[in-house]
């Protein structure tokens, strides 16, 4: 062991498990350039989302978190998928994610980790694979085997003997197996609700037994998936205030018909694992699903409930959850994984050779959590982030445990996390260590690479681990990345350059259309060569490059970012060609989003004035924007592009400053008033003789002076 502090030691990292947690861990480690070995006992990736005897999946399984709150940050789900995708779609998504990032090549399939033993500072792994037993020595072990594969039954079991048949939800696959039978479903979680709903159309009778009341949330609130409302509130409110707001909204939105109801919960919403169902409350109210309290005892085929009622059933289906197990670790090391005290739910305090990814119970989706945990492990193994000293890590873990007990009681407090709070904490730690959510391995095509924005973006992208190829008229030779020279306004050259760049990169994940041209061009004058040149480069050139890159972007489920201008929404006189071309570029981005947005993220960024050579011709013509538009730093524009490229979901429109957001909102929602403000600003500049040496402004000056 390394004592839990300092940077990680060199060597291979082994990841146990091929579900979402294992896939995320292998991907993060490989992207960090670290040697990694994945171990999966099945013959394919996918974990619990595979429909197999050794998984908890059933055919009708669906997500209980919505698409935007479920997907990985760098791989959006198709926008045409339903709000709550099903099992087969989630498996397809994980397989596509693994294929996109080359995860499978790091795995040994059909290989079981029989035992992991300490071996100096690392581990000796005893494996059973297709070729028989083998051993492997590794420096670090990541446990990502999930905790939904060992069924948990009530302990103690209700007294008496049940003479019907019984099974656990782990063995459930399709409702047709129970046709014509009287079935008692035991449990109050999402699986219990989903399975009970499915059975009502097949079984002779279905009852749902719960020992306690739970909050059953509708899948949509106020026209949106309900978890998105909680996510929006989490950005601004602590959980206690969110609880009050959420319960108020739930009461106001309750439109259930009169009739029987599930038992009322004793604790507030957000104090238990969320149960989502639109159908169960309605089925109970209609009498198609009988709500029963907990089981008191068995009497042959009869079941006596806590309220004294008795009913006969043919089958009991236990939806009572799973036990977290790590059978390959000695019990002296991990007696019960569900009671481990872990720093950030990942590291054992004081032990830098062992980590856990996915050993948690989240208030939301597991995927964003395991992604953050995986990147924390990769940052540690790469030496970018330091694991705190044992005492410090233990104090932090104990503080989190006390907070979890205060909120969730003794219901698995070691595993509990509030997803929004947790992700803020982990990403802040990574950012503080210089390990921001990276562009590592992302293949970036950047137009206008030799310009002011292009140079700054090239430097930032490469610093964040991206591979960059630029497109420009000339190669300055000092960018540190390949530059394919071409004229983007010539279709053949643009297409050939994109093909060459994609070949150098091996594909394209991110296209940044940055190339642009500005200059004076009054709207009142006939369009000359300058107008045509700006339209050709700012609009048509970007269109040509985007069209050529789209097959690569679609294959990678990538993103395209267009650099427009605040003048696209808040135009200024005497620069009509620039404003018109940038507004047209934004319109093109909007149209493109409607056509390809299911597979490619499309974002438009709107910078204000940045000191760059693009303003030189305007200034030389006596039409400087100085005093009209407030300058902003280049880095702010780069920050906005990086944020758009790394956001969990590609944003639609991005302003680069707070002032810019206000200006955009002003121009869009009060355009007449915005025009009046601009006209007054221009009139003031005319009175100040700002256009004295500007022949192109002669008409404007004449009209203002009467």
Q: Give domain status of residue 687, yes or no.
A: no
Same domain, 291 and 425: no
Question: Looking at residue 564, what is its pLDDT?
Answer: 93
Element (H, E) at 185: strand 182-186
Residue listed under structure tokens 């730093």: 633
Burial degree of 127 (CB within 10 A; 0-12, 13-18, 19+): buried
**Largest pairwise CA distance in the chain:** 102
Same domain, 629 and 503: yes
Q: Give domain status of residue 609, yes or no.
A: yes
Q: Give domain status of residue 588, yes or no.
A: yes
Question: Looking at residue 38, what is its pLDDT?
Answer: 97
CB 173 within 8 A of CB 51: yes
The number of residues in the chain equals 706
Range of the domain at 381: 11-147+322-430
Q: Give domain status of residue 6, yes or no.
A: no
Q: Give domain status of residue 55, yes or no.
A: yes
CB 23 within 8 A of CB 91: no
Q: What is the mean pLDDT of residues 587-613?
A: 86
Q: What is the mean pLDDT of residues 214-241?
A: 74
Q: 358: Cβ–Cβ under 8 A, 6 or more apart, which residues?
A: 17, 19, 20, 21, 22, 144, 146, 147, 366, 369, 370, 373
Burial degree of 207 (CB within 10 A; 0-12, 13-18, 19+): buried
CATH code at position 333 = 3.50.50.60
Residues 180-219 pLDDT 10s: 999 999 998 889 989 999 999 899 999 999 988 777 777 7
Same domain, 288 and 330: no
Q: Rounded CA gap, 166 and 172, in Å?
A: 11
Distances (CA, A) of 534 to 55, 489, 577, 582: 58, 10, 6, 9
Same domain, 45 and 161: no
Residue 280: name the closest of 295, 260, 266 by CA.
260
Same domain, 613 and 527: yes
Q: Give domain status of residue 697, yes or no.
A: no
Q: Rounded CA gap, 205 and 181, in Å?
A: 7
Same domain, 22 and 96: yes
Higher pLDDT, 243 or 97: 97
Same domain, 377 and 447: no
Q: Tokens representing 302?
A: 């009869």
Number of independent structural domains in the chain = 3
Q: Is 461 helix (H, G, I), strand (E, B) or coil?
A: helix
| Range list of β-strands (E), 91-157 | 107-109, 112-119, 122-129, 132-138, 140-143
Same domain, 425 and 387: yes
Contacts 24+ apart (CB under 8 A), 407-415: 407/239, 407/270, 407/271, 408/271, 408/272, 409/267, 409/271, 411/272, 412/338, 412/361, 414/338, 414/339, 414/340, 414/341, 414/342, 415/324, 415/338, 415/345, 415/359, 415/360, 415/361
Higher pLDDT, 218 or 22: 22
Residue 624 pLDDT greater than 70, yes or no? no
CB 518 within 8 A of CB 534: yes
pTM equals 0.67
Same domain, 645 and 572: yes
Same domain, 487 and 610: yes
DSSP codes of every residue in 686-701: HHTTTTTT-GGGHHHH
CATH code at position 599 = 3.40.50.720
Same domain, 425 and 527: no
Q: Give domain status of residue 181, yes or no.
A: yes
CB 25 within 8 A of CB 357: yes
Q: Give domain status of residue 703, yes or no.
A: no
Residue where one domain finishes, among candidates 430, 459, 478: 430
Give bridge partners of residue 249 from the DSSP assignment.
Answer: none
Residue where one domain finishes, among candidates 319, 343, 358: 319
CB 39 within 8 A of CB 127: yes
Residue 621 pLDDT greater than 80, yes or no? no
Residue where one domain finishes, among candidates 658, 674, 701: 658
Residue 343 pLDDT greater than 60, yes or no? yes
Same domain, 396 and 414: yes
At 52, the pLDDT band (50, 70, 90 cuts) reads: confident
């Amino acid at each position: 062991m390394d004592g839990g502090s300092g940077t990680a030691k060199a060597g291979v990292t082994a990841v146990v498990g091929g579900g979402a947690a294992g896939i995320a861990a292998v991907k993060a480690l490989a992207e960090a350039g670290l040697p990694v070995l994945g171990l999966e006992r099945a013959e394919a990736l996918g974990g619990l989302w595979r429909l197999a005897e050794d998984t908890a999946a059933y055919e009708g399984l669906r997500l209980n978190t919505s698409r935007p709150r479920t997907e990985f940050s760098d791989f959006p789900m198709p926008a045409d998928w339903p709000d709550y995708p099903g099992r087969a779609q989630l498996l397809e998504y994980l397989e596509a994610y693994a294929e996109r990032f080359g995860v499978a090549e790091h795995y040994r399939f059909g290989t079981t980790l029989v035992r992991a033993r300490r071996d100096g500072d690392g581990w000796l792994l005893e494996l059973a694979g297709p070729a028989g037993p083998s051993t492997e020595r590794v420096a670090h072990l990541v446990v990502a085997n999930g905790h939904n594969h060992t069924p948990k039954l009530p302990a103690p079991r209700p007294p008496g003997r049940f003479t019907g048949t019984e099974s656990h939800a782990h063995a459930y696959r399709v409702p047709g197996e129970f046709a014509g039978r009287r079935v008692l479903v035991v449990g109050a979680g999402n699986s219990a609700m989903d399975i009970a709903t499915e059975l009502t159309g097949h079984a002779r009778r279905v009852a749902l037994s719960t020992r306690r009341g739970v909050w059953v949330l509708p899948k949509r609130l106020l026209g949106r998936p309900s978890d998105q409302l909680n996510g929006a509130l989490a950005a601004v409110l602590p959980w206690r205030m969110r609880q009050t707001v959420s319960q108020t909204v739930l009461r106001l939105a309750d439109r259930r018909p009169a009739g029987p109801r599930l038992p009322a919960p004793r604790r507030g919403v957000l104090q238990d694992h969320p149960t989502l169902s639109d159908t169960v409350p309605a089925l109970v109210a209609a009498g198609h699903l009988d709500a029963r309290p907990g089981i008191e005892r068995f009497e042959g085929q009869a079941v006596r409930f806590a309220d004294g009622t008795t009913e006969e059933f043919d089958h009991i289906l236990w939806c009572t959850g799973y036990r977290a197990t790590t059978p390959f670790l000695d019990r002296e090391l991990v007696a019960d994984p569900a009671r481990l005290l872990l720093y950030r739910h990942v590291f054992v305090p004081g032990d830098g050779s062992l980590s856990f990814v996915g050993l948690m119970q989240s208030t939301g989706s597991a995927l964003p959590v395991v992604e953050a945990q995986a990147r924390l492990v990769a940052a540690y193994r790469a030496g970018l982030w330091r694991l705190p000293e044992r005492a410090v890590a233990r104090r932090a873990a104990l503080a989190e445990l006390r907070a979890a007990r205060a909120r969730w009681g003794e219901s698995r407090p070691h595993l509990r996390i509030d997803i929004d709070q947790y992700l803020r904490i982990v990403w802040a730690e990574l950012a503080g260590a210089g390990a921001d959510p990276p562009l590592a391995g992302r293949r970036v095509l950047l137009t206008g690479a030799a310009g002011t924005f292009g140079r700054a973006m090239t430097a930032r992208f490469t610093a964040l681990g991206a591979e960059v190829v630029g497109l420009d008229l000339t190669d300055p030779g000092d960018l540190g990345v390949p530059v394919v020279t071409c004229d983007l306004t010539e279709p053949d050259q643009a297409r050939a350059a994109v093909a060459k760049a994609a070949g150098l990169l091996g594909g394209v994940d991110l296209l940044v259309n940055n190339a642009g041209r500005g200059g004076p061009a009054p709207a009142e004058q006939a369009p000359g060569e300058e107008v045509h040149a700006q339209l050709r480069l700012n609009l048509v050139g970007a269109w040509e490059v985007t069209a050529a890159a789209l097959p690569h972007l679609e294959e990678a489920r990538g993103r395209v970012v267009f650099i427009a201008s605040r003048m696209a929404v808040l135009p200024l006189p005497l620069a009509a060609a620039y404003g018109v071309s940038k507004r047209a570029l934004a319109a093109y981005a909007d149209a493109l989003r409607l056509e390809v947005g299911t597979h490619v993220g499309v974002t438009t960024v709107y910078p204000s004035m940045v000191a760059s050579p693009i303003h030189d011709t305007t200034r030389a013509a006596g039409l400087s924007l100085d005093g009209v538009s407030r300058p902003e730093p280049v880095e702010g524009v780069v920050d906005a592009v990086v944020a758009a490229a790394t956001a969990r979901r590609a944003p639609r429109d991005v302003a680069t400053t707070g002032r810019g957001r206000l200006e955009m909102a002003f121009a869009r929602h009060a355009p007449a008033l915005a025009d009046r403000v601009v006209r007054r600003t221009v009139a003031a500049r005319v009175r100040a003789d700002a256009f004295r040496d500007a022949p192109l402004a002669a008409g404007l000056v004449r009209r203002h002076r009467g």
